[in-house]
Amino acid sequence: MFELSDLEKLVCVHEAGTLSAAAEALHISQPALTRAMQKLEAEFGCELFSRTKNRAELNVNGLLAVSEAKKVLSTAKRMSERMADRAKSLTSVRIGSCAPGPMWVTEEKLTALDPNAEISAELSDNDLLLSGLHDDKYQLIITTEPVKAPGVVTREFLTESLLVSLPPSHQLANREGIHISELEGQTMLLFSELGVWQRLCDEKMQGVRFIVQSEMGAFTDLINLSVLPNFDSSLSDGRVEPPLNRVRVPLLDPAATMTFYISALKKHKRLLDITG
């Protein structure tokens, strides 16, 4: 049975014009190239060259074989590229998200499937995520609206609700729920990387004083040492050990709950199946 390399040699003979020129381009000896062509002739059951004493030229059969060989090689190349993309989509996944919570959940799911996978994630604006998906900057994006674009598959992913984490002695700690307006005049700890949730703070909580921390370790330490309230997420249930001496009270306003959508190009659709 012939190999793809034999077809590549045949195409090279056609492009180079002569066996000697093709052998030079392929960096093999002319006798080795001749044997490869004889192997193809034996496989196809017909002569591919018109031979004279000093020259061998592709005949009609040979030209047909070249045409078919190009098709086979093109198909093989496409197959190789698609399989490489498939392998890459599992071992190296880049996530773009408009909010941190859904991003962490996605990282967790992919890592559980393959602990050796290279998972990277970053926050970005909603309007930049789709262009990043098309540019292959991201294999998965998480947005607040379903993506309606050709070649993109979108699914509803999860819903996140904000809660307020409070020390038991706080005046709001015994409530079953808190409205945003009740936080007026409070001083709260806030992590800087909020993504789309930042809009809620900017538009609905102008009467709240925030102490912003940009380093997660320091932020966690402040929560454990401070009596100041901070935001928590419904997505942390069962995933993150709750801080000591804290109670979590839901925010009741509709603006404190968001539904997120996860999207991928059709060639990476299986990543959506993995993430559920």
Kindly state whether residues 181 and 248 are assigned to the same domain.
Answer: yes
pLDDT of residue 242: 65
Computed on alpha carbons and rounded to an integer, the radius of gyration of the chain in Å comes to 31
Query: Do residues 219 and 252 both lie within one domain?
Result: yes
The answer to whether residues 176 and 101 belong to one domain is no
Number of domains in the chain: 3
- Residue 22: the pLDDT is 92
Asked whether residue 262 falls in the same domain as residue 152, the answer is yes
Q: Which domain holds residue 115?
A: 89-157+258-275
Instruction: Lowest mean pLDDT of 60-64, 200-204, 241-245, name the range.
Output: 241-245
**pLDDT tens readout for residues 104-162:** 999 998 888 778 788 999 999 988 999 999 998 999 999 999 999 999 999 999 999 99
Cα(82)–Cα(267) distance, integer angstroms? 9
State the Cα–Cα distance between residues 8 and 70, nearest whole angstrom: 8
| pLDDT, the chain, mean | 90
- CATH number of the domain enclosing 211: 3.40.190.10
Q: How far apart are CA 169 and CA 166, in angstroms?
A: 8
Shared-domain flag, residues 249 and 120: no
Q: Which CATH number does the domain housing residue 27 bear? A: 1.10.10.10
Based on the fold, state whether residues 263 and 150 are members of the same structural domain: yes
Q: Which of 87, 104, 136 is where one domain is finished?
A: 87
pLDDT per residue over 79-109, tens digit each? 887 776 665 555 689 999 999 999 999 999 8
Domain boundary among the residues 50, 70, 87 is at 87
Q: Give the residue carrying structure tokens 């992590």.
A: 191
Considering the domain architecture, whether residues 190 and 214 belong to the same structural domain is answered as: yes
Cα separation, 237 vs 131, in Å, equals 32
Same domain, 16 and 67: yes
Same domain, 148 and 264: yes
**Do residues 107 and 171 both lie within one domain?**
no
Same-domain pairing of 111 and 179: no
Residues 265 and 246 grouped into a single domain:
no
